[in-house]
Amino acid sequence: MSESVPPLLALVTAGSVLLLASLAVVLVALYLAGCRIWPYANCPRCTGSGKSGSPTRKSFRNCPRCKGTGRRIRLGRRLLDRHSNR
């Protein structure tokens, strides 16, 4: 009967799932704490420069994604803001 799962294995599996879940909770808490301290990340479009350059790189305009700020608000920070602005 190789199809039935041994109880010990089921217990270990449940334990690892629990462990992974608690680990995920800790990681999310750390991430949210990090988003509270460092709310911004580099804009993915301009990598933080705030410029959208012409092909020659001599002229540029404000990056349309971040409007020239070169930063974006991190997802966790947005969640925190939404939570606090009830």
Binding site for Zn ion (CB under 5 A): 43, 45-46, 63, 65-66
User: Distance between CA 18 and CA 11 in Å, rounded?
Assistant: 10
Please give the DSSP secondary-structure letter assigned to residue 76.
Answer: H
**Which residue lies nearer to Zn ion by CB, 32 or 65?**
65
Q: Which is nearer to Zn ion, 27 or 67 (by Cβ)? A: 67
Q: Which is nearer to Zn ion, 71 or 80 (CB)?
A: 71
Handedness of CA 25, 85, 48, 56 (dihedral sign): positive
CB of 42 to Zn ion, least distance (A): 8
DSSP H or E stretch at residue 35: helix 7-37
- Least Å distance, CB 78 to Zn ion, is 17
Instruction: Tell the smallest beta-carbon distance from residue 37 to Zn ion (Å).
Output: 22
The C-alpha atoms of residue 7 and residue 68 are separated, in whole angstroms, by: 59
